[in-house]
Structure 1
Amino acid sequence: MRIFYILFIACMAMQASYAQQLEGRIADARTREALPGVSINLTAAGKGCTSNAQGHYVLPAPAANDSLKISYVGYITLKIPASAAVQTPVIYLEASSTNLNEIVVSSSREKQYRTEVPVAISTISPQTLQETKATTLDKVLNKVSGVYMVDLGNEQHTMAIRQPIGYKSLFLYLEDGIPIRTVGDFNHNALIEINMAALRNIEVIRGPASSLYGSEAVGGAVNFITAVPTLVPTAKVQLEASNWGYKRTDFSVSDTKGKVGFLVGGYYADQRNGYMDHSDFHKLALTARADVQLNEKNKWTTAATLVNYKTDQTGGLDSAHFFAKDYRNFQTFSYREVKALRIRSTLDHEWDSRNHTSVTAFFRHSTIGQNPFYAIRDVRNTLKARGEINSDAFYSYGIIAQHKKDFDWKNASLIAGVSADYSPATYNANYIDIDKDAAGYYVGYRLTDSVLTNYRVGLLNTAAYTQFSFMPLANMRIVAALRYDRMDYDFNNYLPPSAFTGAPSERNNFNALTPKLGLTYNLQHNRGLYANYSKGFAPPNISELYRGVKVPVLKSANYNNYEAGGWFGFAQNKGYVDVSVYLMKGSNEIVSVRTADGSYENQNAGATTHRGIEWNARYTPLRSVFIRTSGTYASHIFDAYTENGKTYDHNAMNGAPKWITNTELTWKPSLLRGFRIGGEWQHISGYYMDAANTAWYDGYDLFNIRAGYQWKGFECWLNCMNAGDRLYATTAEKSAYGKSYRVGPRQTFNFGVAYTFTGKR
């Protein structure tokens, strides 16, 4: 009996202790993810705490009339009665749409305030992703200043960030800080392999980021950050369709139980019978993620993404077809097929408040098979043509280890890391014989036994990098970074070497030392300045180095970038503007040069200058009205360039619009909560279609309208893209074969409905 009384008294004491505490969890109102590091304070008692890695907080029992003040960088500060907090196990914070001092991770692979980063970096928020209802990534990325993601149809694309529209390996695409594709095997269509339905947000670094990420991060780096498991049970299903035969289904399921959180999400898209002939496609994308909070100091995250994609290739139209709005496609059998799998596993360890280590192991596999329209060449004076069916594939096995240490001296911190990536890659191409009709349409082909290309390259990329930052003055932070990369190419040609089949089997290596030096100065009141110098480099791709050459003699292209900028809040934090100006000079750029015997070969014969100004502004004049504008004014010049035996020094680069702007006005009436309607204006100014500056494209203006309504878990929306049904080209080029225009999408209506279930646990 005595033992029973002792246990009873102990239980009552524990209950009394529990009653003397206020505890709960903090989560993002839109993503439902736990928010660590949130400040929670009892205003009357003067006591506070911060939420832990799982968003959990504990405070002493509050007085009856006390209140909670909950604040977190990038979120709207919330004040609620303490009595209400007792009845609310999960408190949700709303992200601020006009707060510049948000948290970013792409500039150092560690969480930092945006205002401590001396680079031009922009974030596409979860709110923007969810409200835009984009069917392709360009519809959100083109909202970022200085970015023009070119729509080539059916999620195919190329990019222009501080560079003209082009197809070279000058942009690095990452998923959670890991390159989507291996170094040396760049593909301008790499973002086909992204699962749009599993994204939390996107961060875009403009300008070279090679000091952290290595090669190809020249014009910019785009980091796609996957969604994290939700704090409470969540399930979502979304259906949409367009007037041009596009249909798509999205889904996601997520929850956290104890120390384990999981998320599964994806989408299936299908296009049939569009406005242009031979333009069908389908895509399946799936992502699974598990986060395990082993304890307060250790977190283990594993994620996998699978993509299966196939599309018809449309190619461009000649002038007659384009301006006549004749959407019949010259191609009737060309296609692109992509299969990709990426797996990463990361262990994060907090040694103490000043030391953090992260180790990531990853695996990648990608195969791109195609019958490309751009490989088709007519046989003169016949109704015949030649082409090829090719396949490009690689496997990757890699590891990235990074440690960060903070110091008492001058608020200093040191980041050091190493990485290794081994990626065996293969490429083969078979000749096909093509039939053409009298009207110029390619109507069929026959396979042959002729093998055009067949090789394997063992790609090994090893790197070490470091970054040191400190505050010599109260409001000034200096950041210095340095990275060393070595890339080894082990090339094996399975065919007799020739000017077409490729170079003899051999080994090549490239190395680069890329520094960065920058500073930020905080002027207080949400205002500040930054400046930096950075260097970028791009080694030759496999196809540039080995395919169609007798001897591989190329060097890495180098770029020196100088920039300065600032951010300025105004109107009592109802708005802000950030501005950057830059000058970037490229040397040893790889161009195709015509030799004395009439053949072509790649040479380091190019030099360019890129300069411009970029801006991004947001303003909320009324609680229900949101205004955003972003853009760039830039000049891209050939300092030295030879093409087809002709020199075009000091010409404007082709495919380089001077003005790129995107402006949006959104209204969310307070009298109709949950409703939104917005208009968007995209402007692309004119540009030269060729390096000789003999042909000009006038550019275009597009107007898009988006409307949506959300009530509890239900949501519906209607987007009208290209509201004026304007005829425009996403790219316009002139070559020896004539002018070619890639037709932009016609007026398109997308209607969708969604339902989200959110549990209350």
Structure 2
Amino acid sequence: MKQCCLLIIASMAVCNSYAQQMHGRVADAQTKEALPGVNVRLLHAASGCNTNIQGKYELSATATDTIEISYIGYITKQIAVNAAEKTRVIYLQQKATNLNEIIVSSSRDKQRRTEAPIAISTISPQTLQDTKATTLDQVLNKVSGVYMVDLGNEQHTMAIRQPIGYKSLFLYLEDGIPIRTIGDFNHNALIEINMAALKNIEVIRGPASSLYGSEAVGGAVNFITASPTLVPTAKVQLEGSNWGYKRADFSVSNTVKKVGFAVSGYYANQSNGYMDHSDFHKLALTAKIDYQINEKNKWTNAATLINYKTDQTGGLDSAHFFAKDYRNFQTFSYREVKALRVRSTLDHEWNSSNHTTFTAFFRNNTIGQNPFYAIKDIRGTQKANGQINSDGFNSYGIIVQHKKQFNWKQAALIAGVSADYSPASYLANYIDITKDAAGYYASYRQTDSTLTDYHVGLVNSAVYTQFEFSPLEKIRVVAALRYDRMDYNFDNHLTPSAYTGAPSERNNFNAFTPKLGLTYNLGNNRGLYANYSVGFAPPNISELYTGVKVPVLKSATYQNYEAGGWFGFDHNNGYVDMSIYEMKGSNEIVSVRNADGVYENRNTGATTHRGVEWNAKYTPLRSIFVRTSGTYAEHIFNAYTDGNKVYNNNQMNGAPKWISNTEVTWKPLCLKGFRLGAEWQHIGKYYMDAANTSLYNGYDLFNVRAGYAFRSVECWVNCMNAGDQLYATTAEKSAYGKTYRVGPRQTFNFGVAYTFTGKK
């Protein structure tokens, strides 16, 4: 009897050790967000599972076994079963040289980077964390082929496969939704981004019109916001600079059962900088709530609020620029932005092969300004004139998308529709300006004279589809087609003229934009791709109706051909991706001057843009990370006539051939948490005018960043423009002379942050 009892007890102990049921969750080590689809398997048994949409896994394991956790783009981790049971949440670290990562912008759905036949780059959460950027250009300029131009106080313009300019050739998105309505482009649109809410950024270079519509010509930039964390987290961050810049960031996030929330924001203030009249302040807030209704349904609601105001500074003439005379002759010019974006998204998974997303959104946006560029001197007097204007719109829109996967040839079909109604208005009033003896625009007087007053009922509607399949094991083909229609109902509240705008009228523009591409997998993290795509850019509201005689304008179209590849090396401790492209534009809208001196918009431009882009990352040692990215490009006028001046075959103005960014980061193993980085930004020479008579020699900048994190506290110092280089972010020549937009002087940014991370 005694022996029988001992046998039963021993058997129960063995069974208990063998049949242990373990539960846990997997999250990103940087963002603390759940990771769905992670492979969790036992090393010594033929069993495993994938994490669900909430990052949860469940499997039977012995207490002495070990589990292996692996996910695309992350460092594989092994952990003993007993240890895994105690931690409950297992954190995975992203690879520094991350080639085969997951992206969403290429197809509006998750896919591997190596299956997307486009030039796309990702700015990772780790890069955002290490850079400690005070403006978005400090991270976007790390991307090959991108030059985000700093115009001061978060103001900017963009150059991606295009010269430096202000045209509506770039599309800016937040979680896949345009942050402004199509047709009312503003080159300063990224003022409306909350940097404190970002998880990562994806940049598509070249036309993306087949999925996103017009304006996605030079490229599309998708800002992906952070989702709620698995565990309670809170962060407070304070920083300042030697030029009067002060900023405070915060974030709070958690998930309780099926509901997760994330709230983040920052307040920035600039005062008493190195340039006169250059103060600004900005408040940015974002809130997101995820409700995981069940395994098949997820409801996400998000809202972003921006309140921004800045003094406006113009460019300097040659004498003041090269003398380092930073006086600003503007004393009252300003720009003020108020923006609100709200979206509600329902994700429904019908089964493993069918997934539908429904999104409804609302946008409210107003830009008010007393612009420096509208000020005109009155010859022979101490007077000038200008304007105070306001441009605003509301948007009410929906996007519905369905993805169907097939068993045949790993095929997948994506189809979607989108529509938004965006009534917009514009009002500009004339002002009298007085100059003092020193040349300062000292004061102004408002008048009852209205220059422009109109309302536009703007309707954007589109249908799109994308089909992809693998005809052979190593080849994947992607074909996409989109149809867009834009309807303008223009109501001019004033008598039509060259200044007040066009007569009241209705206009519409439509276009089919196809894309065809393929990838070829060479194995060992190496592959090639090629694609053909079309982009289009219909006239914006301002080009059609604001302050000009309006002829009949057509949409500008762009034919793009490109090829490239990615190549991992040194046991995947490094990789290189490259692309070569040629894009031809026709019917480009340019402002030309007639014989009577009046400017009007015409479809007279034809251009060619061609170049090569590269991006390389390498970790020769565990503590050393090297990255270099850049582009060599040519931008040519094929046909461009302004009055009697013909600029055919000239290089386009504002188009540097060479742009590169190189960075070396050291994270010593002997001092965990410390980092030291050095960055070199190079902008090559370019012509300042279309006639190619004046050349700007470009510039080289060196930035140094250092930081140290110990437990929950992090501190850092960044030295931007370490050599205090005199440079211009833009250099232009006109009939009035040369103008240089001064780049920031040597700047030291100091910061400290505290992060609380709870447990579950």
1:222, distance to aligned residue in structure 2 (A)? 0.2
Q: Which amino acid counterpart does residue 31 of structure 1 have in structure 2?
A: T
Structure 1 residue 440, shift from structure 2 partner: 2.4
Task: Give 1:412's aligned amino acid.
Answer: A
**How much does 1:439 deviate?**
3.1
Q: Residue 53 of structure 1 corresponds to which residue in structure 2?
A: 53
Return the alpha-carbon distance in structure 2 between the equivalents of residues 172 and 496 of structure 1. Answer: 34
Counterpart contact for 1:595–1:645, Cα < 8 Å:
no
- 1:164: which partner in 2? 163
Aligned residue number for residue 8 of structure 1? none
**Kept in 2: contact 1:716–1:752 (CA 8 A):** yes
d(CA) in 2 for partners of 1:694, 1:78: 60
Q: Hey, what does 2:385 align to over in structure 1? A: 386
What does 1:551-700 align with in structure 2 at a 5 Å threshold? Answer: 551-700=550-699
> What amino acid is aligned across from residue 492 of structure 2 in structure 1?
N
- Residue 702 of structure 1 corresponds to which residue in structure 2? 701
The C-alpha deviation readout for 1:176-196, integer Å capped at 9, x for no partner, is: 000010111100000000000
Q: Is the 8 A contact 1:24 1:89 kept in 2?
A: yes
1:507 counterpart residue number: 506
**8 Å Cα contact 1:149-1:159 kept in structure 2:** yes
CA shift at 1:97, angstroms?
1.1
Partner residue in 1 for 2:530: 531
Match of 1:227 in 2: 226
Instruction: Tell whether the 8 Å contact from 1:504 to 1:550 is kept in structure 2 after alignment.
Output: no
| Residue in 2 that maps onto 1:747 | 746
Is 1:92 aligned to 2:76, yes or no? no
* Alignment-derived partner of residue 196 in structure 1: 195
- Give the equivalent residue in structure 2 for 1:426: 425
- Give, as a single letter, the amino acid of the residue that structure 2 aligns with 1:262: F
**1:382: Cα distance to partner?**
1.3
Q: How does 1:244-263 map to 2 (within 5 A)?
A: 244-263=243-262
Report which stretch shifted further, 148-157 or 735-744. Answer: 735-744
Q: Counterparts of 2:550 and 2:98 in 1: how far apart (Å)?
A: 54
Contact 2:17–2:63 under 8 Å retained in 1: no
Task: Give the C-alpha shift of residue 598 in structure 1.
Answer: 2.7
Q: C-alpha displacement at 1:381, in angstroms?
A: 1.4
Does residue 44 (structure 1) correspond to residue 44 (structure 2)? The answer is yes
How far apart, CA to CA, are the structure 2 residues paired with 1:59 and 1:53?
Answer: 16
Q: Determine the structure 1 residue equivalent to 2:6.
A: none
Structure 2 counterpart SS, 1:115 = helix
Contact 2:415–2:466 (Cα < 8 Å) also in 1: yes
Deviation track 1:301-332 (CA, whole Å, cap 9, x = no partner) reads 00000000000001100111100000000111
State yes or no: 1:480 paired with 2:487.
no
- Tell me, what secondary structure is at the counterpart of 2:138? helix
Task: Name the CA distance, whole Å, in 2 between partners of 1:340 and 1:204.
Answer: 23
Secondary structure in 1 matching 2:490: strand
Output the amino acid matched with 2:495: P
**Partner Cα separation in structure 1 for residue 551 and residue 341 of structure 2:** 31
Aligned to 1:146: 145
Partner in structure 1 of residue 4 of structure 2:
none
What is the SS of the residue equivalent to 1:478? strand
Aligned with 1:390: secondary structure? strand
Maintained 8 Å contact 2:595/2:643: no
Indicate the RMSD between aligned Cα atoms, in angstroms. Answer: 1.2
Q: Measure the CA separation in 1 of the matches of 2:612 and 2:153.
A: 31
TM superposition shift of 1:63:
2.3
Q: Distance in 1 between matches of 2:439 and 2:642?
A: 27
2:18–2:63: 8 Å Cα contact kept in structure 1?
A: no
Separation in 1 of the partners of 2:690 and 2:438?
30
Distance (Å, rounded) in 1 between the aligned partners of 2:567 and 2:545: 49
| Range with greater deviation from structure 2 (712-721 or 378-387) | 378-387
2:548 matched residue in structure 1:
549
Q: What's 1:180 paired with? A: 179
Alignment of 1:342-491 (within 5 A): 342-491=341-490
Alignment correspondent of 1:80: 79
Q: Does 1:243 align with 2:255?
A: no
For 1:108, the equivalent position in structure 2 comes to 107
- Letter of the 2:536 partner, please give it: F
Structure 1 position 21 matched with structure 2 position 24: no
**d(CA) in 2 for partners of 1:598, 1:366:** 34
Is 1:67 matched up with 2:69?
Answer: no
The 3-state SS of whatever aligns with 1:745 is coil
Q: Distance in 1 between matches of 2:227 and 2:282?
A: 23
Mapped to 2, the partners of 1:623 and 1:473 lie a distance apart of: 38
SS at structure 2 position matched to 1:275: coil
Once the 2 structures are TM-superposed, how far is the Cα of residue 383 of structure 1 from its aligned partner?
1.2
1:548 deviates by 2.5
CA distance in 2, matches of 1:547, 1:17: 77
SS in 2 for 1:107: coil
Once the two structures are superposed, residues 88-111 of structure 1 have per-residue CA deviations (whole angstroms, 9 ceiling, x without a partner) of 110000001112000000011100
**Cα deviation 1:47-84 (Å, max 9, x = unaligned):** 10000111110010x22331111000000000111121
Equivalent residues in 2 for 1:720-731, closer than 5 Å: 720-731=719-730
Task: Confirm or deny: 8 A CA contact 2:24 2:56 kept in the other structure.
Answer: yes
Task: Give unmatched runs, 5+ long, in structure 1.
Answer: 1-11
Q: Deviations over 1:267-305 (max 9, x none)?
A: 000000000000000000000000010000000000000
Counterpart CA distance in 2 for 1:416 and 1:48 is: 34
| 1:438 CA drift (Å) | 3.1
Paired AA for residue 456 in structure 1: H
> Following the alignment from structure 1 to structure 2, what is the Cα–Cα distance between the partners of residues 281 and 241?
14
1:87 match: secondary structure: helix
What is the percent sequence identity of the aligned residues? 79
Partners in 2 of 1:151 and 1:593 — Cα distance?
Answer: 27
* TM-superposed deviation, 1:17: 12
Q: Distance in 1 between the 2:225 and 2:593 partners?
A: 45
What is the match of residue 136 of structure 2?
Answer: 137
Code of the aligned partner of 2:36: P
Structure 2 CA distance, aligned partners of 1:66 and 1:16? 13
Distance 1:484 1:234 in 2: 44
Provide the residue aligned with 1:7 in structure 2: none
Q: Is the 8 A contact 2:20 2:63 kept in 1?
A: no
Tell me the secondary structure at the aligned position of residue 26 of structure 1. strand
Contact residue 681 and residue 701 of structure 2 kept, 8 A:
yes
Q: Write the distance in 2 (CA, Å) between the matches of 1:551 and 1:289.
A: 43
How far is 1:737 from its partner? Answer: 1.2
Native 8 Å contact 1:593 1:645 kept in 2? no
Q: Does the 8 Å contact 1:145/1:615 carry over to 2?
A: yes
Q: Which position in structure 2 is the counterpart of 1:734?
A: 733
- Paired residue type of 2:364: H
Could you tell me which residue of structure 2 aligns to residue 323 of structure 1?
322
Whole-angstrom CA distance in 2 between matches of 1:552 and 1:347: 44
Query: How big is the shift at 1:593?
Result: 1.5
Distance in 2, Cα, partners of 1:338 & 1:514: 33
AA partner of residue 396 (structure 2): Y
| 1:284–1:309 contact (8 Å) kept in structure 2 | yes
Q: Using the alignment, how far apart are the partners of 1:320 and 1:82 within structure 2?
A: 71
Distance (Å, rounded) in 1 between the aligned partners of 2:417 and 2:314: 42
Structure 2 contact 118–204 (Cα < 8 Å) conserved: yes
Give the Cα–Cα distance (whole angstroms) in 1 for the partners of residues 20 and 99 of structure 2.
Answer: 38
- Report the secondary structure of 1:211's partner residue: helix
- SS of match in other structure, 2:87: coil
TM-score by length of 1: 0.97
Distance 1:491 1:466 in 2: 31
* Alpha-carbon offset, residue 552 of structure 1: 4.1
For 1:142, give the aligned amino acid.
N
Encode CA deviations 1:409-449: one digit per residue, 9 max, x unaligned: 11100000000010000000000011112332211111011
Cα-to-partner distance string for 1:173-214 (whole Å, 9 max, x where unaligned): 000000010111100000000000000000000000000000
* Distance in 2 between residues matched to 1:161 and 1:458, nearest whole Å: 30
Partner letter of residue 706 of structure 2? A
